Amino acid sequence: MPECSKTEFALFHTSEFNYVQVHTADLRRTAEKIHHIIPDAPFFPDNLGLIGLPYSQGRTAFSNCLVAHEMGHHIYRRMAYGATLQVKADAALKSGSSTYERMEQSQKDTVIKALTQWSEEIFCDLFGAMLLGPCYTYAYIEAYDLSAILDCKGSVSGDRVLPCIGFYEKYPSEMFRLQQQSIFLRESPWWDHINKSSARYATLLKTLHNMPIDAHVKENGKLGYLIPMLDSIIPEIRKVIGVTFEGVDYGFASFSQLNSTIQKYLANGIVPSTLNIRSGSKPENVNTVSPSPLVLLNSGMEFYLTRVNELMRSIRDEDETIYPRRLHWVRRIEEWIAKAIEDESLKTEVVDGDPI
Amino acid sequence: MAILSKEEIQRRMKLEIGDKESLVITPRPRSKAFDSDSVDLRLGCHFLMPQMPPEPSWGSAQVGGHSHTRVHVPLGSYFVVPSHETVLGATLEFIKLPKDLSGQILTKSSVARCFMVIETAPWIHPLYRGCLTLEIANVSNTPLTIFPGLSIAQLVLMSNQNAADEGMPDGSYVGPVYPEEPIKRELGKQMHEAGIDQYRDPKDGKWCPRTTGSSD
């Protein structure tokens, strides 16, 4: 991402349940004050984002894909996208609400703020899905337990939707956010893979795509009239995402090439940090490949969602119906992926022009 | 048993993982890590520091509340092992042995000459897969600094004609990538399995009958 090439993030543990991006304005001001008192004291770095993750998630790999959403908040502010979307929110309200012009200024400010905040959340979700692919959306589904809205046949169950369709003052509903991710991914190269996946989370994405906007309006009472306006801003949000990621590789081509090999490594209980890819008929004709973190996260997540049973059945004296044992192997899979990502940071040795 | 040569190790590392002779060492060791009959292994980034137990403990028996503190040291940074202290570490390399290979891990001589011992349970069984836990002990009179990512051990591989069964082994130790604490087992059951009728409980020194159950 050319505009963000110098951006760095510092991650820390919080005691909160949620992932959080720290607004650094206050820290910048404090650093400036200290600089006036202590000569040579450093200013707060321009390109540094601060992201807190729940301490309980310290050792997980897949849930921490949600960090991408918080990175989106940092980029949103750094690129000042709020001003652009606020203009769009104002225009949407003028054309979509007959009462808007008659509102007092404070009321106008309140509804514009709500629409802008909702837009920022949608931006950050699409940012995460664009940056990481479906593994971001799968982590989102897991965090909010959204697959619970599917019945045993894989259809959306009306009663189960209700707890996650309500909008909040600062956030769109979990269901609306997921639906936007589903629509966004459907237009990306990832959809072909999602469409073929047997994962329950993929089924949810396929099912949710057709949920009508009226279903959201109906269940949201006084806030309901704002939802079509938010919907009308979403093309602009996608446009902003397109500008942010202009020229950036989705990573899908690399994923398509390596996914089946990574899955094979995981099924054999092996960390997939160095892959042997056969390039000819002879056993010695092998290319060595180190997959990128993006590829590892998506392959690993797919394996976790679809093949834990198979892995456990291949291990002596293991029983896939015992929950603590399933948890043990899910953690193992996460550790293997985290290890492979850590290994990827080692520079590849090149001998005679070829990586070894 | 015959010790594998550098050429044989590298040949096996190039095989697809489905091949019955496939050997995996990942991340791939640097070219200088291969000696004529061994491969250098590097220190990993994760450590378990033992805490002083409140009660005496023996081996893997579940007696005291023996626990460890987990520490991550990123590549490029270092970890200081105080004089006469121990810490559990792991190799950076994840290893998968085929059914016809056994292995032995040894302290690199340059490390041993600093009076650092890194392995006291050095045998690696066929079909093992995982990073190798290192029992690092500084037996010198001065603190020693260790850097993750630098060579610390040598892996020697031996071919075993009486090969074990195919497939994955017991799951207890399949796939660890971090140093792991010993699996705690009830002392009474261990005594029962060893055929010992009575044992003294280290908590109060009194004699106890063995536990009759046979499962863990």
Domain segments of chain B: what residues? Answer: 2-56+65-162, 187-216
Q: What is the pLDDT of residue A279?
A: 79
Q: What is the mean pLDDT of residues A294-305?
A: 97
Element (H, E) at A282: none
Count of beta carbons in the 10 Å neighbourhood of residue B62 = 17
Write the pLDDT tens digit of every residue in B39-63: 999 999 999 988 766 555 655 555 4
Least confident of A130-134, A193-197, B50-54: B50-54
What gap in Å lies between CA A333 and CA A306, rounded to an integer?
12
Strand partners, B199: B208
Least confident of A57-61, A181-185, A212-216, B164-168: B164-168
Give the residue carrying structure tokens 């940092």: A74
Using the Cβ of B76 and the Cβ atoms of chain A, whether some distance falls under 8 Å is answered with no
Residues in chain B with CB shorter than 8 Å from the CB of A264 are 17-18
Least confident of A213-222, B111-120, B162-171, B202-211: B162-171
Say if residues A68 and A128 touch (Cβ distance below 8 Å).
yes
Q: What is the mean pLDDT of residues A153-177?
A: 86
Element (H, E) at A26: helix A25-37
Q: What tokens were used for A247?
A: 């020229």
Residue A211 buriedness (CB in 10 A; 0-12 / 13-18 / 19+): middle
User: CATH number of B2-56+65-162: 3.30.70.100, 2.70.40.10, 1.10.8.60, 2.60.120.560?
Assistant: 2.70.40.10
| CB-nearest partner of B24 from A270, A328, A336 | A270
Using the Cβ of B166 and the Cβ atoms of chain A, whether some distance falls under 8 Å is answered with no
Say if residues B105 and B132 touch (Cβ distance below 8 Å).
yes
What gap in Å lies between CA B176 and CA B70, rounded to an integer?
15
Listed by number, the residues of chain B in 81-120 with a beta carbon closer than 8 Å to a beta carbon of chain A are: 92, 94, 96
Tell me the three-class secondary structure of B114-176, residue by residue.
CCEECCCCCEECCCCEEEEEEEEEECCCCCEEECCCCEEEEEEEEECCCCCCCCCCEHHHCCC
Residues in chain B with CB shorter than 8 Å from the CB of A58 are none
DSSP string for residues in B200-213: E-TTT--EEEPP--
| pLDDT tops 50 at residue B214 | no
DSSP string for residues in A182-231: HHHHHTSTTHHHHHH---HHHHHHHHHTT--HHHHHHTTGGGGGGHHHHH
What gap in Å lies between CA A155 and CA A151, rounded to an integer?
6
What gap in Å lies between CA B60 and CA A267, rounded to an integer?
30
Diameter over CA atoms, chain A? 78
What gap in Å lies between CA A205 and CA A137, rounded to an integer?
9
Residues of chain A contacting B, Cβ within 8 Å:
264-265, 268-274, 276, 278, 283-284, 286, 288, 290, 314-318, 325, 328-329, 332, 335-336, 338-339, 342-343, 345-346, 349, 351, 356
Give CA torsion, residues A287, A290, A294, A295, to 10 deg. Answer: 40
Best of B17, B95, B128 to disrupt the A interface (most A CBs within 10 Å) is B17
What ipTM was estimated for this complex?
0.85
Q: Which residue has the higher pLDDT, A4 or B171?
A: A4
Query: Rounded to a whole number, what is the distance in Å from the CA of A349 to chain B's nearest CA?
Result: 7
Write the pLDDT tens digit of every residue in A91-130: 888 887 777 778 888 888 888 999 999 999 999 999 999 9
| pLDDT tops 80 at residue B169 | no
| CB-nearest partner of A273 from B14, B26, B170 | B26
φ/ψ of A306, rounded to 5, equals -125, -15
Query: Rounded to a whole number, what is the distance in Å from the CA of B74 to chain A's nearest CA?
Result: 9
Q: Any idea which residues of B carry the catalytic annotation? A: 135
Query: Rounded to a whole number, what is the distance in Å from the CA of B35 to chain A's nearest CA?
Result: 16
Give the start-to-end residue ranges of the domains of chain A: 63-244, 252-346
Q: What is the mean pLDDT of residues A189-210?
A: 92
What gap in Å lies between CA A263 and CA A337, rounded to an integer?
11
Q: What is the mean pLDDT of chain A?
A: 89
Residue type, B7: E
The pTM score is 0.89
Winning range, highest mean pLDDT, from A135-139, B159-163, B210-214: A135-139
What gap in Å lies between CA B116 and CA B134, rounded to an integer?
11
| CB-nearest partner of A316 from B169, B176, B177 | B169
Best of A258, A342, A350, A351 to disrupt the B interface (most B CBs within 10 Å) is A342
Count of beta carbons in the 10 Å neighbourhood of residue A146 = 22
Q: What is the mean pLDDT of residues A289-309?
A: 96
Contact B175 A286 (CB under 8 A): no
Q: What is the pLDDT of residue A351?
A: 58
Count of beta carbons in the 10 Å neighbourhood of residue B92 = 27
